[in-house]
Amino acid sequence: MTQQPVPDTACDAELDAVGLACPMPLLKAKLELNRLASGQVLMVTATDPGSQRDFRSFAKLAGHTLLREEAGEGLYRYWFRKA
């Protein structure tokens, strides 16, 4: 997994998955990515610690690029570039 620097504001859509448990953050992210055009960036905020494993695997399997991920203070943020 290659991560590239992305400014915090460099996203085309944001998804708030705070408070949702597995598998809901992943399902909502998949639906949101389906709405975006190829090359656009989705930023997801989640609180489920399992989202780290889930989103890494999802990006690899679906062909999307996980540009960046951050974890801190119980929040997990991910930036995906749609394939």
pLDDT value, residue 9: 55
pTM above 0.85, yes or no: yes
Q: 13-82 sits in which CATH class? A: alpha beta
* Residue 26 main-chain phi, psi, to 5 deg: -65, -45
The structural domains of the chain, with segments of one domain joined by +, span: 13-82
Quote the pLDDT of residue 8.
55
Positions marked catalytic: 22
Taking 50 as the threshold, does the pLDDT of residue 2 lie above it? no
Q: Residue 82, exposed/middle/buried by CB under 10 A (0-12, 13-18, 19+)?
A: buried
| pLDDT tens for each residue of 23-60 | 999 999 999 999 999 999 999 999 999 999 999 999 99
